[in-house]
Amino acid sequence: MNNYQDFIYALNQARSAEEPILEVCITDTDGSSYRKSGARMLIDAHGMMTGLVTGGCLEGELSAIAPGLLSHQKHQVLEYDMRTIDPNQCVFGPGCNGRVRVRINCLSPQNGYGALAHIAEQFPNKATLLSAIDESGDYAIKQGASFFATDNMPTNAQDIIAQATETPELVTINGKEFLLEIVTPAKRLTLLGASSDARLLANMAQPLGFYVQLLDDREAYIKEGQAMGLKVSSFANAAFDVGESDAIVVMSHDYDKDIDAIKLIQTANAPYIGMLGPADRRDRVLKSANLSVEFFGGRLYGPAGLDIGADSSDQIVVSILAEMLAVLNNRSADSLRNKTQSIHA
């Protein structure tokens, strides 16, 4: 998951200074690679990197060539095949055994900071993005140009765009190669409760790419959370509709408030709904709300979290986030050593 909140912060810093910034995006891979198509990172004019496109295999190389690309405001497509590189002769330390192709786009005041500026303007809403890879083709589009579905698209693009999925893919339109992707700037996470452990969960979730809101009608909790820079409000002033959440966690530490919370979310379609506390408390809350575990069709995770032996607030939060990510990514949360296929598949 790309953390677009960090990207937008880095973009705004570059905008304020009227400096260019490089956007590096993986267009396609073959074999084992740490990240896949659509993974991004930014490199600013001072060498500061935001995000990763590999596990550290290529970042040093990309950082080394960044000043030249920034000074000439160039776009470039580079390919690295770690299967053919001698690690003893390599300056950037390949880790995965696969091929990675990256598109490097210089975002600047001259081009309005490209598609990233559009993503920032409509954050956290999704958008379909079509990005030109190279300069081939029978009509003039600059290398690195990007278009949103709401913009003027290249000829004959609409039918292909209509078939876009959550998985980025390379497409050919009129002989020109594009990366087609549905950009999801952030997963929406709603925490029903804003006590200290909820604030801890929010602080850990945001760097993972979640757009987090905490809802609580207790004024003291609202003030404490807002003082930490979190999006904390009463239910009446929610940043987004709870029903639009990708994940929800009920954690008010108050029996009656949890009953109200579970009633509130009974029509939500979130794939992950977590409830803090033991199973017998969960059942009593649900019974008081005239609901049941079965009502949620397997989407209710209570007690929330994976069994990792967590015995502190920090560890419990880690176990909840790990379970949440596994559910949202449709993974088993099993140990990677048990996988028989590529760990990056």
Give the pLDDT score at 217.
94
d(CA 119, CA 206): 17
Number of domains the chain contains: 2
Question: From residue 324, how far is each of 15, 126, 249, 263, 302 by CA, in Å?
Answer: 34, 20, 10, 21, 12
- 157 contacts 168 by C-beta, under 8 angstroms: no
- 177 contacts 170 by C-beta, under 8 angstroms: yes
d(CA 66, CA 276): 46
- 53 contacts 26 by C-beta, under 8 angstroms: yes
d(CA 155, CA 162): 14
Count Cα atoms within 13 angstroms, Cβ side, for 307.
3
- 302 contacts 282 by C-beta, under 8 angstroms: yes
Same domain, 126 and 214: no
Give the pLDDT score at 100.
87
Give the pLDDT score at 201.
98
Report yes or no on 305 lying in a domain.
yes
Same domain, 169 and 205: no
- What are the phi and psi torsion angles at 207 (to 5°)? -65, -15
Q: At what angle do helices 196-205 and 219-227 cross, to 10 degrees?
A: 30
Give the pLDDT score at 150.
61
Report yes or no on 4 lying in a domain.
yes
- Domain hosting 200: range is 187-328
Same domain, 134 and 205: no
Same domain, 211 and 312: yes
Question: From residue 308, how far is each of 72, 315, 320 by CA, in Å?
Answer: 50, 8, 10
d(CA 201, CA 194): 10
Give the pLDDT score at 89.
47
Same domain, 255 and 168: no
Same domain, 103 and 4: yes
Same domain, 255 and 308: yes
Same domain, 239 and 313: yes
pLDDT in tens, 65-97: 899 989 888 788 888 887 776 655 444 555 567
User: Consecutive 10-residue runs of the chain (345 residues): their mean pLDDT?
Assistant: 88 95 91 83 94 82 89 84 62 64 91 88 84 56 62 73 84 84 90 96 94 96 95 92 94 95 94 96 97 96 96 95 96 89 66
Report yes or no on 232 lying in a domain.
yes
Report yes or no on 240 lying in a domain.
yes
Same domain, 178 and 195: no
Cα separation of the two ends of the chain: 14
Could you tell me the pTM of the whole model?
Answer: 0.82
Q: What is the percent of the chain with per-residue pLDDT over 70, rounded to a whole number?
A: 89
- 270 contacts 297 by C-beta, under 8 angstroms: no
Report yes or no on 335 lying in a domain.
no
Report yes or no on 79 lying in a domain.
yes
- 219 contacts 194 by C-beta, under 8 angstroms: no
CATH number for the domain that contains residue 291 = 3.40.50.720
How many CB atoms are closer than 10 A to CB 104?
20
Same domain, 154 and 204: no
Same domain, 229 and 258: yes
Same domain, 21 and 130: yes
Report yes or no on 338 lying in a domain.
no
Instruction: Classify residue 47 by burial, with Cβ atoms within 10 Å: 0-12, 13-18, 19+.
Output: exposed
pLDDT in tens, 2-24: 788 999 999 999 999 999 999 99
How many CB atoms are closer than 10 A to CB 43?
24
Give the pLDDT score at 88.
54
Domain end position, chosen among 151, 185, 219: 185
